[in-house]
Chains A and B, each alone.
Chain A
Amino acid sequence: MDAIATYALRLGDDSLILGQRLGEWCGHAPALEVDLSLANVALDQIGQATHFLNLAGALEGEGRDGDKLAFHRDVMDFTNCLLVEQPNGDFAQTIARLFLFAHYQELLFTALTASKDARLAAIAAKAVKETAYHATLVSDWVVRLGDGTEESRARMIAGLDWMWRFVDELFVMDEVDAAAIEAGVGVDKSALRGAWDQRIDAVLADATLERPAARRPVLGGRSGRHSEHLGHLLSEMQFLQRAYPGATW
């Protein structure tokens, strides 16, 4: 895969893995209405994944479509960030993950709408509206949980603490990003960090929470070095395609 195809693949993998994780909540959320909200976010992410992965396959030009990419790669070929593959944990941990990611995704997609690749720009233009809502929805939950009960506060802090080591990876730039920027297709992610920090800090302040202390980042997702969690996620997600090779569904 060339850099631009890989660029689309990464975007697709992020959305796919997050959508898969959020789908695990369906039927088990704290309230009926919350179940509907989480499913809506999951559906948006799966929709984005479908678009980005189909595009990645088309750019690659070897006959792989989104399904082929989603269901027929092993851990080392997945390029999602480590944040999205983290387990749901309790509701606060799920909220922490979505909170950190949704703001990043909204900023990223906003910038990506200016991509010279019309297909990427079009997907981003549609997706940015979705993520803008996710960011609002999840920020409201961070505030409620942070400034709720003692228990919810402790859980929200623990959820952010679990996820915080994966934040830096969101903004790391490598040769794929450089090539995409060079081609006028990609986004300078490092330039998004300031706006992201401001958004996160504003919500945390409203939630009466401290920003977690800086820590040594855990990196590797973009180059296929994942957590142990991803393999289990994939073995579940890819089960049918693996068990019945060649069948269509």
Chain B
Amino acid sequence: MYTTDLSGKGKGKAEAAVAEDPALVAAFEARVANDEFIEPKDWMPEAYRKTLVRQMSQHAHSEIVGMLPEGNWITRAPNLRRKAILLAKVQDEAGHGLYLYSAAETLGTSRDEMTEALLSGKAKYSTIFNYPTLTWADIGAIGWLVDGAAIMNQVPLQRTSYGPYARAMVRICKEESFHQRQGYEIMMHLAAGTEAQKRMAQDALNRWWWPSLMMFGPPDDKSPNTEQSMRWRIKRDTNDELRQKFVDITVPQAEAIGLTVPDAALKWNEERGAYDFGDVDWEEFYAVVKGEGPVAKERMQARVKAWEDGAWVRDAARVHAEKRAAAKLAAE
């Protein structure tokens, strides 16, 4: 899954103030403009490094926190096939978090540092995961809409300028290809099921539609870092472009299974060859970014608990390895 860049306005100014050799900066910019890959030991502007660490760690945090809403249904999946699929999918999210943390680690930030930033509330993650999964249909809606939005964001990032990030994204995109399909299949099944199942499916679409549109981030005119990030090939399409693309692709998918997108303003615009759609509630978006999502506290509590409960395990393995290494040394 994905996170958009949720940093506030004005970040990066202090970073830009650091004096950097203009020749190095120019050479770097030229390489990036030429679609070359930047690798860990290459020289890079400090602002590029910091932006990347922030973006990759936010992305990784989103994968990890994103395990929770879906994980909520692993023990209640309705049959053995769905249980295995869901478990495999949530496990994939763990893997994706791992790949992304690893990519960020190549820039000199440890995973523990990033984890601490998440657990202390300093780091952001995608707003979408602060909404609750109430029924089984939410598992369908998340796969279909949330992973659908994520894929749209992630596919271009396979060509992002930072090599380790791009390689992680290639692996992630390959693995995610089943995520959206399994979600849509769940929705398709529910929409063709009993009245109760249809109601469940429509209710899930109603609740997840707008938060999914928010996943692309604030409108372009309120997205201060977009220009620099696009120049650096850290971002390859604007938020509004991707949001439009998502609406255009998803609306027919909803119609095909008889579900109604909850937007009275939704209308095909022949002239633009695209859907016109209603305004996203940006007030809600910014509130959720600030940590006021309906289940933000539960999500953080779960992560903190897992981390704190696991401390003795991590310590034990480390101490054991040290003991055995010392014993081996002594025996030699």
B167 proximity list for chain A (CB < 8 A): none
A244 to B201, CA, bound (A): 14
A102 at the interface (CB under 8 A from B): no
Proximity string of chain A (58-87) to chain B, C-beta cutoff 8 Å, 1 when within and 0 when not:
000000001100110000000000000000
B315/A149 in contact, CB under 8 A: yes
B189/A248 in contact, CB under 8 A: yes
A247/B313 in contact, CB under 8 A: no
A26/B320 in contact, CB under 8 A: no
B88 at the interface (CB under 8 A from A): yes
B95 at the interface (CB under 8 A from A): yes
Within 8 A of A (CB), among B305-332: 305-306, 309-317, 319-321, 323-324
B91/A244 in contact, CB under 8 A: no
A148 at the interface (CB under 8 A from B): yes
Q: Looking across the interface, which residue of chain B has its beta carbon closest to that of A233?
A: B75
Interface size of B by CB at 8 A reads 50
Could you say which of A50, A70, A240 contacts B136, with CB atoms under 8 Å apart? A240
B313/A39 in contact, CB under 8 A: no
A145 at the interface (CB under 8 A from B): yes
A28 to B307, CA, bound (A): 8
B82 at the interface (CB under 8 A from A): yes
Known: A26-B91, A32-B64, A39-B90. A145 touches B313 (CB 8 A): yes
A145 to B324, CA, bound (A): 13
- The smallest C-beta distance from A76 to any residue of chain B, in angstroms, reads 21
B76 at the interface (CB under 8 A from A): yes
B67 at the interface (CB under 8 A from A): yes
A70/B76 in contact, CB under 8 A: no
A53 proximity list for chain B (CB < 8 A): 80
Could you say which of A50, A144, A249 contacts B317, with CB atoms under 8 Å apart? A144
A36 at the interface (CB under 8 A from B): yes
A50 to B67, CA, bound (A): 24
Known: A32-B101, A36-B95, A36-B98. A239 touches B76 (CB 8 A): yes
Most buried by A among B79, B80, B88, B320: B80
B194/A244 in contact, CB under 8 A: yes
Within 8 A of A (CB), among B152-205: 186, 189-190, 193-194, 196-197
Could you say which of B79, B312, B314 contacts A71, with CB atoms under 8 Å apart? B79
Known: A43-B87, A247-B194, A249-B136. A29 touches B76 (CB 8 A): no
A227 proximity list for chain B (CB < 8 A): none
A50/B84 in contact, CB under 8 A: yes
Given contacts A27-B67, A148-B315, 14 further A-B pairs with CB under 8 A are A19-B83, A24-B75, A26-B67, A27-B94, A31-B310, A35-B67, A39-B90, A39-B91, A50-B81, A145-B313, A148-B316, A151-B315, A237-B76, A249-B193
A-B contacts, 21 listed (Cβ < 8 Å): A19-B83, A27-B67, A28-B306, A28-B309, A30-B311, A32-B94, A35-B67, A36-B95, A36-B98, A40-B91, A43-B84, A47-B84, A49-B80, A50-B84, A67-B81, A70-B80, A147-B320, A147-B323, A148-B315, A152-B315, A247-B194
